[in-house]
Chain A
Amino acid sequence: MPVRPAVPSGTQVCGVVPVDVAQPTTAAEVADVLRSTRGTVVPVGAGTKTGWAAPPTSCDLLLRTTGLDRVVEHAPGDLVVVTEAGVRLESLRRQLAEHGQMLALDPPEPGATIGGIIGANASGPRRLRYGTVRDLLIGVTVVLADGTTAKSGGKVVKNVAGYDLGKLYTGAHGGLGVVVSATWRLHPLPAAVGTVVVPVSDAAEAGRLSALLARSTLTPTAVELRFDVANAQAANAQAVGSRVTGSGVTGELVVLFESIEASVDAQSRAALALLGGGTREQRPPSWFGQRPTGGIVLRLAFEPFALPHVLRALPDGASGTATACTGVAYAAVPETTDLAALRAAIRPYDGSAVVLAAADAARAGLDHWGPVPDSFGLMTRVKDQFDPRRRLSPGRLIGGL
């Protein structure tokens, strides 16, 4: 039987204290835990993103997958790696770097595990070039609520045999099954790196510069905007007749090039010309790729060209980063923010806002995921097929699933 440590004090998932904790070390032990218990189970990795889903309605057992920590297979010539769910991204990164390769995912949470990254669908700035979990995960093995172990996909990049269940498990926060291992497509580590940093003085400029880059033939691996919002102040200033600034958004835009030396150099020069200014730096600034903190932290997604509209919809005091050409942003907004109004404001751009972090006290009143889509009935049917007794991560998913 797997190790059942006593529940350490302070252990909780979004304020919910588990009755028991299990820390299996093999996939068979995970299956054993699910077969031999009947209560509710919340699977977590290192627990760096437990706030990304809604609080569970119940947690009889907290199932930590950090004990599943083996890199099962690395085939450098095939650019494929198979890892267990508890492997930490940082350690995998080090191991792959010895072969000049990388898993092209760069979520910043320190200590995050492969399984947690899949469950939370975590990504970082380089998604602009490499995509997200759904673009890199080529095979996955899960243990279902009843203890069945099942795989989908495979160990080759190109494979269309059967349903691609990896897509469903990505971002499902363990609600459909416990990911125990994953197979990834890898990329070569770039030889050289360089950035161009441009100050941004309002939302329109952020949008204009992003659009210039999107339309160009430049191939940055990331285009990140750091922003601070003072919209209300800007509106007041306009009202009293001061110089119209368009909006109260300030910040800077970082264009990251990673390629061979000659290309980084040529593209950096071209970017300076295209953007009409800026400075070249060797490394991105310290804020690059970090999530904002404080108040309520949101992940926003929207049509890429709507960036200025989304920035203008943010409340005074908001700050954060936007992955500019992809239509994803992370914003820390004040606890008093009217989330429903913000969601309504970005809805015309296919916009959504999901809570990633909030003080436990503030959570109770928060609509974590926002309104359910018209496919919610279908999502419910999928959940009920995979987990008919609703024992896995109950209440964590959208609409209370």
Chain B
Amino acid sequence: MTQPQVDDRTRDPGRTGIADDGTAPSARMVRLAERLRERIGADKVLTDPAQLRTYECDGLAAVRVRPGIVVLASHRDDVVQTVRSCAEAGVPFVARGSGTGLSGGAIPVADGVLIVLSRLRQIVSVDPDNARVVVEPGVINLWVSREAAPYDQAYAPDPSSQQVCSIGGNVAENAGGAHCLKYGFTVNHVMGAEVVLPDGEVVRLGGTASEHPGLDLLGAFIGSEGTLGVATQVTVRTIRIPETVQTMLVGFHSVRDAAGTVSDIIASGIVPAAIEMMDALAIEAAEAAVQCGYPQGAVAVLVIELDGPAVEVDEQFRQVRELAEARHAFETRIARDAAERALMWKGRKSAFAAVGRISPAYYVQDGVIPRTRLPEVLEEIGRLADEAQMRVANVFHAGDGNLHPLILFDDAVPGAAHDAERLGGAILDLCVDLGGSITGEHGVGVDKKSKMARQFAGEDLDTMQLVRCAFDPDGLANPGKLFPTPRLCGERPGVRTAADTPDPALGEVF
């Protein structure tokens, strides 16, 4: 099988977007902007190229596309009106929350509208009796836990970016986090959503109860990366804060021992709240950035957290310690209080940004492997990195086999970014070959859509497309993301190829 190539056009800022400086917006964009100003107010509709530039990219900074129009929605009705106007004009739209996504899911469409939801930040209701919180999509993930805290409740999904990422974005990406080993992902915690469909119709999916008659459209919507509509209100469930939380940091002289400890913990019947792993290079970076005091000389560290009733946690914590020692852990530290726990987590949660301290640039990947294959995968990643003459820092959610290789490169060196992406692609191929996935939590977006065909057969992708066609027959919602080959609804599968279908993500519609 030939390996799908990274499309050079998406990576070259000079050739993306047709609305570059000096290029006049299309007549269609001008008309749509006019209509939007009438409908939702001129102050919410941006068309000035200087203002549009702010929204060219999301957390995947390597791809930039300047949108035709940016709408700063400040009310749900603004979203409804904007989507409706887009539908009438046949113009594509992309919803954006905080723009922290790492797969380019919120990259705009050049001749389209970017709907910015970050002003929709109302906490609509907090219902501790039913353990439900209703929020607007721009509300920050961590705010939900803050609202629930007075009732000893919390919102479980905790992506590393939780201080800035939005619930709407979490829903689009089915965001995970360190604690999803025990608590699950966004999809396990979202009970309902109000959704503006791509034709402008507003529907409520799910609700406040845990079941509803009919198809679970909410389950399909969550994680659909903005390709099925825009959520304007989200109902999440909160969990009771556990009686006890215990966190330990364990240092190992070998990756194999650290990975073996993870397997032993799982095999012993313990379900920790989190098991995180970092390798030597990631530890070095974290130390340089936040002085988290990780064990010196460690080739790998594990951050292990258990939570629940005190009796249970105490007993299992002791067991975990023994298992780690049996695997030659040379240092075990137990957080004595919340501050020490926070420091242990700080090293882990800041790891992505921290590699900036030891490398001019880096590229984050997100792949999943069966947990038991961890040692061999790490060896193979090391081999691939040597071959490419690049350094890779490894950070993972080890408990569920979710790898985040951070590929370090010097962006001043011509071609280095491309090589980094190539190496990232090879790592994803490795994940798929071992029965894993090309993404555990960052999503496919534009970054990995060519890899979808590596993980799924044509029939699988065509079947997913059936859902797309039910929600968005005209293909206006976040086109050019998620699927490798754009296809029109109603068309027979396999008739078109990528070569004769313009890719809307490249701004080359029509």
Q: Contact: A154 with B437, CB < 8 Å?
A: yes
Interchain CA distance A88-B187 in the complex, whole Å: 27
Q: Mark A367-401, 1 if CB is under 8 A from B, else 0.
A: 00110111111110111111000000000011100
Q: Which of A80, A301, A385 has the most CB of B within 10 A?
A: A385
Q: Contact: B184 with A135, CB < 8 Å?
A: yes
Q: Mark A88-106, 1 if CB is under 8 A from B, else 0.
A: 0000000000001000000
Q: Which of A131, A167, A216, A327 has the most CB of B within 10 A?
A: A167
Q: Contact: B267 with A165, CB < 8 Å?
A: no
Distance (Å) between the CB of A226 and the closest chain B CB? 20
Q: Is B369 an interface residue (CB 8 A)?
A: yes
Query: Which residues on A sit within 8 Å (CB–CB) of B401?
Result: 78, 156-158
Q: Contact: B464 with A165, CB < 8 Å?
A: yes
Q: Contact: A160 with B215, CB < 8 Å?
A: no
Which of B32-40, B66-74, B216-224, B347-355 is the contact stretch? B216-224
Q: Contact: B217 with A135, CB < 8 Å?
A: no
Q: Is A29 an interface residue (CB 8 A)?
A: no
Q: Contact: B242 with A382, CB < 8 Å?
A: no
Interchain CA distance A217-B151 in the complex, whole Å: 12
Q: How many A-B residue pairs have CB under 8 A?
A: 265
The answer, among A164, A215, A217, for a CB contact under 8 Å with B219, is: A164
Distance (Å) between the CB of B311 and the closest chain A CB? 4
Q: Contact: A301 with B176, CB < 8 Å?
A: no
The answer, among A131, A132, A152, A326, for a CB contact under 8 Å with B464, is: A152
Which of A12-20, A143-151, A281-289 is the contact stretch? A143-151
Q: Is A204 an interface residue (CB 8 A)?
A: no
Query: Which residues on B sit within 8 Å (CB–CB) of A78?
Result: 370-372, 401
Query: Which residues on A sit within 8 Å (CB–CB) of B152?
Result: 215
Chain B, residue nearest A376 (CB): B214
Q: Is A201 an interface residue (CB 8 A)?
A: no
Q: Is A218 an interface residue (CB 8 A)?
A: yes
Chain B residues 202-241 with CB under 8 Å of chain A are 203-205, 207-220, 222-224, 240-241
Distance (Å) between the CB of B136 and the closest chain A CB? 19
Q: Is B48 an interface residue (CB 8 A)?
A: no
Query: Which residues on B sit within 8 Å (CB–CB) of A335?
Result: none
Query: Which residues on A sit within 8 Å (CB–CB) of B469?
Result: 385
Chain A residues 164-213 with CB under 8 Å of chain B are 164-168, 170-172, 176, 187-191, 211
Interchain CA distance A397-B471 in the complex, whole Å: 19
Chain B residues 461-482 with CB under 8 Å of chain A are 461-464, 466-471, 482
Q: Contact: B214 with A369, CB < 8 Å?
A: yes
Q: A154-B436, A156-B435, A266-B309 are in contact. Are A374 and B203 (CB under 8 A)?
A: yes
Query: Which residues on A sit within 8 Å (CB–CB) of B323?
Result: none
The answer, among A148, A150, A151, A302, for a CB contact under 8 Å with B209, is: A302
Q: Contact: A260 with B467, CB < 8 Å?
A: no
Query: Which residues on A sit within 8 Å (CB–CB) of B441?
Result: 158, 160
Chain B residues 300-319 with CB under 8 Å of chain A are 308-312, 315-316
Query: Which residues on B sit within 8 Å (CB–CB) of A150?
Result: 457, 459-460, 462-463
Q: Is A34 an interface residue (CB 8 A)?
A: no
Q: A170-B216, A328-B210, A354-B213 are in contact. Are A375 and B205 (CB under 8 A)?
A: yes
Q: Contact: A163 with B224, CB < 8 Å?
A: yes
Query: Which residues on A sit within 8 Å (CB–CB) of B438?
Result: 161
Query: Which residues on A sit within 8 Å (CB–CB) of B309?
Result: 217-219, 259, 263, 266-267
Interchain CA distance A306-B130 in the complex, whole Å: 8
Chain B residues 381-424 with CB under 8 Å of chain A are 397, 400-402
Distance (Å) between the CB of B198 and the closest chain A CB? 11
Q: Contact: A375 with B217, CB < 8 Å?
A: yes
Distance (Å) between the CB of A77 and the closest chain B CB? 4
Chain B residues 268-326 with CB under 8 Å of chain A are 269-271, 308-312, 315-316
Chain B, residue nearest A388 (CB): B466
Q: Is B379 an interface residue (CB 8 A)?
A: no
Q: Which of A172, A263, A266, A386 has the most CB of B within 10 A?
A: A263
Query: Which residues on A sit within 8 Å (CB–CB) of B270?
Result: 188
Q: Which of A187, A214, A377, A384 has the most CB of B within 10 A?
A: A214
Chain B, residue nearest A385 (CB): B466
Query: Which residues on A sit within 8 Å (CB–CB) of B471?
Result: 378, 381
Q: Contact: A188 with B370, CB < 8 Å?
A: no
Q: Is A25 an interface residue (CB 8 A)?
A: no
Query: Which residues on B sit within 8 Å (CB–CB) of A191?
Result: 269
Q: Which of A152, A155, A161, A260 has the most CB of B within 10 A?
A: A161
Interchain CA distance A304-B239 in the complex, whole Å: 13
Q: Is B368 an interface residue (CB 8 A)?
A: yes
Distance (Å) between the CB of B221 and the closest chain A CB? 9
The answer, among A132, A156, A382, for a CB contact under 8 Å with B215, is: A382
Q: Contact: B466 with A386, CB < 8 Å?
A: yes
Query: Which residues on B sit within 8 Å (CB–CB) of A354?
Result: 213
Could you list 9 examples of A-B contacts with CB < 8 Å?
A78-B372, A161-B437, A167-B220, A168-B215, A219-B312, A259-B309, A352-B209, A378-B470, A381-B470
A77-B267, A160-B443, A164-B223 are known contacts; what are 7 more A-B pairs with Cβ within 8 Å?
A152-B456, A152-B463, A160-B437, A161-B444, A217-B240, A305-B129, A381-B471
